[in-house]
Structure 1
């Protein structure tokens, strides 16, 4: 996902969800010239996910059906909708162990990543040591420019 977003000119950041998944976030410019509708933003997210799923259908899918997900990574573009929700970074979750949605560096995103290690007890000390999301505030780019690049790929 990071490579796809980079290819269309967006910098991205990753976080745990506080559950089993990961969220990839791309900060966007918000000025009047850069605004798009929710429908357009969701369509862009769907396009990026379809690109990934088409290139590696044995690995990724965008179909929400749990029966079809076995052994594959579900790319959930549906979070990009006005009425959808996504947990905010550093939010504790009402789950066993009180897990937290933790910002990650890309180096931390590996096969042995255990999201359950990020809890309300462990996160304060981990935050003091992390460089995750450094530069986030300055990384915003135009979704309109990214949409154009995606359309011409």
Structure 2
């Protein structure tokens, strides 16, 4: 199947000369690494039909979020899935299961993809635990230290943590789990982990949801573990002037002072993948028992 690109020469990231055609081509090419990580997961997308930033072509550069694809004019081969709302009704999310799906979304102006922590085949049971480490300021040292502390704690209780720079300011620490627990159980567990990390360094870390209560500290966000919540998809482009990319990295790389949360871009990431592969490849093989991890954590 063929995806025709409309307005391929439109500047999407004018600061770095990236066009809409470049974005579509990127998603086609990164699909071999990206699709295994987002397989079967409902998506929410951020669309920027006229480009990103104040210098974007033919517009203000402001985007919007799209969840529902029921009236999108999507091709018949694009998988969509009806997801129940907690408040009633449903939302028809897109699911990317082939390179053409990523290309079609990009041609619609979708720059950033956010994914569920559950799959459409079992919408009420997540198979990932996500910790979003969001700094109050641009300093990355506290993000790095907190991510390493999260790694050590999660490893101690039998989980296999992975790390991703978000392409924005922070880091996601992600642990695969075997399907079984509910969203509420996973969120409560993640909250407990977050509270432990915050307690261990209350000067620099907090789980306070209200910004006014954070007082300049890094926010350990565990709310992405709730039903219908999302996290930025690995290898997703971010709507930032340099076309940065959410990038899985190794723990050794995280310790390198040269690594920045927005340092990998659409213009560089494919060479990195070709040379070094995907650090998250085979993640599902390391999915651990949530129940066993919960019991170990309770015993600490």
**RMSD (CA atoms):** 1.7
Q: Which secondary structure state, in structure 2, belongs to the residue aligned with residue 149 of structure 1? A: helix
Which protein shows a greater Rg? 2
Greater relative CO, 1 or 2 (CA 8 Å, sep 6+): 1
Q: CA deviation at 1:85?
A: 1.4
Q: 1:49 aligns with which of 194, 206, 210?
A: 194
Please list every run of at least 4 consecutive aligned residues from structure 1 whose deviation after the TM superposition is greater than 4 angstroms: none
Structure 2, unaligned runs of 5 or more: 1-149
Deviation by residue 1:20-72 (Cα, 9 ceiling, x = unmatched) = 11001101112xxxx11110000000001111111211121111333444553
TM-score, length-scaled by structure 1: 0.88
2:268 maps to what in 1? 122
1:103 partnered with 2:252: no
1:22 maps to what in 2? 171
Structure 1, unaligned runs of 5 or more: none
Distance 1:104 1:62 in 2: 25
Distance 1:134 1:70 in 2: 38
Q: CA deviation at 1:135?
A: 4.5
Q: CA deviation at 1:143?
A: 0.9
1:13 partnered with 2:162: yes
Q: 1:75 aligns with which of 197, 214, 220?
A: 220
Distance 1:128 1:47 in 2: 38
Structure with greater proportional helix content:
1
Q: CA deviation at 1:19?
A: 0.8
Q: 1:138 aligns with which of 277, 285, 291?
A: 285
| Number of matched pairs | 149
